[in-house]
Structure 1
Amino acid sequence: MDSPKLPIHLRITQDPHDRSGHLRTDEGWVEKAWSDEATRVLVVAGNRVEPSGETRVRWRTTDEAPDGIRLLLGDTADGARFAVLTGREEAGEDWRDLRGLFPAMLEDTTEASFLMHAVGLAEWHRATRFCSRCGGALEPRAAGHELACVEGHLTFPRTDPAVIMLVTAGEPGSAEERCLLGNHTRWPAPYYSTLAGFVEPGESLEDAVRREVAEEVGVRVGQVDYFGNQPWPLPASLMLGFFARATSTEVVVDEDEIREARWFTRAELAAVAESGEIKLPSGVSISRSLVEEWYGGELPGSW
């Protein structure tokens, strides 16, 4: 019997690279690795990366790398891997942001791991310029994984937990069971996705799910079941996926974040996805995995 197919958001995390964290503070090793002809470098200009063909990214030798902040991504059997952070103006017209690199992630899951690591750190460096304690300028340490001010205060990369949930109603597994998808005010009309929001201080993940659903669409949620998670460095989130069972079904959108929200049976969802009336999120997102897990198979179309 064939093994069940992994949800697509998990397929890009099946071969994570060795981050070699113990080597980041070994300056001698880092300099030696940088001088090794086997070392390869990923240049991140702002938050954009240079493609190589349709489904890969370009890894340069250290001699080809521009000046910038060096990040040790890890060590491999084929040599060390670094990223170099430069300004957005260094990007060519064909350079892509992380969303544009999703095909590369599906082609090579180890490359996906490097990309998530590099772009996540690039976003952190872009947003973190001054010490939050004294206001002093920051300098990179630990091969780009720490920032320190002249007073010695350390700043570390942050990750913001966010819940993302598929709300369902009706008898589970029945033809009448429905899921709730919303169109965000920032998106074109056909784009629909699961609901999501950030966890607030002192809040459990389950309570964050219930609060966000109530705030955005006015639906009350009871049972909340964990599904999985996905790093999403756009700019610094960890998406925590859940299925949420509705205890009410009347939809009242907030009109601030959500323009429209609709319930779909499985048959209705398949029909509107096939016709293009709605477009579902990209194939690599945990949102897509939540929808297709509930639906029971793959669905057409994406944005």
Structure 2
Amino acid sequence: MSASMSLPFDLGPRPHLGYTQSRIDRVAERRLDGDWLAARMADVASRIYVIGGEMIVLKKRDTVHDPDFEPHEARALAPHTETVFLGMFDGHACFGVGILPAAAEALKARGDLVITDLRSIAIQGLVAAEHLPPLAEAKAMLHWHARHRFCSNCGAATSMVEAGWKRSCPNCKAEHFPRTDPVVIMLSVSGDKGLLGRSGRFAATMWSCLAGFVEPGEAIEDAVRRETLEEAGVRCGRVKYLYSQPWPFPMSLMIGAHAEALNEDLTMDKNELVGLRWFSKDECAAMLLRKHPEGLTCPPPVAIAHHIIRSWVESDGAIF
């Protein structure tokens, strides 16, 4: 029997996973070419994304707004803090420009702009999907610069170099590079049951996969097993990698997996979770479609948890 025939609901076409399938060509070799970068920043064809802390500046349109600014338009909005070269987007240079959060807040008074956070943009589809990966790249990089202005080795003020992809200390000559924090996010499975939890930060109806940061010296599979045991008291055997997702809140890489649960009794870590339970495939299908009889839901399609759960729901046999 096919996966679609075995389900009580038709889940429809697979949605796009947010912040993935970037059309940016990062052309790292151009990061040292100051003259070329200066020319691109003056080129009317270049794409500029303007970000003030957590807020993204958009040109207001009827439904889907426009995050692209020409260089002179971006300069006219507010003074810039940092500028990062993101790469080439459909043949045009693409930059992320930072402004102060207070400046972004002040721009809310303009009727021709929309100022909102990246999470709302992704969930509500406020920009075309092609813009989400470069926006994620820009937000993560500008967040890193805002919090790494001083050398962690000697404390001196650092300088931004290589088009924003490195900070250099003039005092001790240390070089500092942007980091990405790996996070495992997994659905533990026991037969026809999948394990979901609730964080106190979630909306009241939402249940999701368990997740946690990979620790130093730890393999992805070991992190999946450790986090599941710590948060749920469930020991896991086999681990199957599914896919990954950049998550710019502030700058993580979500590593999605299914895990084989070796026991079903639960011991919830109350410091991390406010809810923990096993769900059937039918229940998860209903949650994905917002049709669960208790009003329970799963994360929206922009989040990797949605895809991890759906992949299991649509499987028609053993997943390991």
TM-score per shorter chain, which class? 0.7 to 0.9
- Residue in structure 1 matching 2:278, options 251, 263, 278: 263
State the Cα distance separating 1:13 from its structure 2 match. 2.4
State the Cα distance separating 1:77 from its structure 2 match. 4.8
1:8 maps to what in 2?
16
Q: Is contact 2:231-2:272 (8 Å) kept?
A: yes
The 3-state SS of whatever aligns with 1:288 is helix
- Residue in structure 2 matching 1:123, options 143, 157, 164: 143
1:36 maps to what in 2?
43
CA distance in 2, matches of 1:108, 1:286: 19
State the Cα distance separating 1:7 from its structure 2 match. 5.7
1:59 maps to what in 2?
68
The 3-state SS of whatever aligns with 2:270 is coil
State the Cα distance separating 1:12 from its structure 2 match. 5.0
Task: Tell me which amino acid in the other structure corresponds to 2:145.
Answer: H
1:173 maps to what in 2?
none
1:70 to 1:25, Cα distance in 2 relative to 1, 3 A: same
CA distance in 1, matches of 2:194, 2:309: 8
CA distance in 1, matches of 2:232, 2:89: 47
Correspondences of 1:151-170 after superposition (within 5 Å)? 151=171, 152-170=173-191
Task: Tell me which amino acid in the other structure corresponds to 1:284.
Answer: V
State the Cα distance separating 1:193 from its structure 2 match. 0.5
1:267 to 1:103, Cα distance in 2 relative to 1, 3 A: closer
Residue deviations 1:228-252, cap 9 Å, x none? 1111111111111110010011111
Correspondences of 1:48-197 after superposition (within 5 Å)? 48-52=55-59, 53=61, 54-66=63-75, 67-68=79-80, 69-91=82-104, 92-93=107-108, 94-102=114-122, 108-151=128-171, 152-170=173-191, 177-197=192-212
1:13 to 1:105, Cα distance in 2 relative to 1, 3 A: farther
TM normalised by structure 1 equals 0.88
State the Cα distance separating 1:113 from its structure 2 match. 2.0
State the Cα distance separating 1:121 from its structure 2 match. 0.5
Q: Is contact 1:164-1:194 (8 Å) kept?
A: yes
Q: Is contact 1:56-1:104 (8 Å) kept?
A: no
Q: Is contact 2:161-2:168 (8 Å) kept?
A: yes
Matched positions, count: 287
Is 1:280 aligned to 2:298, yes or no? yes
Structure 2 unaligned blocks of 5 or more: 1-11, 109-113, 316-320
CA distance in 2, matches of 1:56, 1:146: 32
CA distance in 2, matches of 1:133, 1:190: 45
CA distance in 1, matches of 2:154, 2:14: 47
1:290 to 1:7, Cα distance in 2 relative to 1, 3 A: farther
Which deviates the most, 13-22 or 283-292? Answer: 13-22
CA distance in 1, matches of 2:188, 2:126: 27
Residue identity over aligned pairs, in percent, reads 36
State the Cα distance separating 1:78 from its structure 2 match. 5.0
CA distance in 1, matches of 2:251, 2:268: 27
The 3-state SS of whatever aligns with 1:189 is coil
Structure 1 unaligned blocks of 5 or more: 171-176, 298-303
1:29 to 1:281, Cα distance in 2 relative to 1, 3 A: same
Q: Is contact 1:12-1:106 (8 Å) kept?
A: no
TM normalised by structure 2 equals 0.83
2:307 maps to what in 1?
289
Q: Is contact 1:47-1:97 (8 Å) kept?
A: yes
Runs of 4+ deviating beyond 2 Å: 4-8, 11-16, 51-58, 75-79, 103-110, 185-189, 268-273
Task: Tell me which amino acid in the other structure corresponds to 1:112.
Answer: L
- Residue in structure 2 matching 1:24, options 31, 48, 71: 31
Q: Is contact 2:66-2:127 (8 Å) kept?
A: no
Q: Is contact 1:229-1:240 (8 Å) kept?
A: yes
The 3-state SS of whatever aligns with 1:274 is coil
CA distance in 2, matches of 1:77, 1:195: 37
Task: Tell me which amino acid in the other structure corresponds to 2:299.
Answer: P
Alignment root-mean-square deviation, CA: 2.2
State the Cα distance separating 1:122 from its structure 2 match. 1.6
CA distance in 2, matches of 1:106, 1:167: 33
CA distance in 1, matches of 2:126, 2:280: 29
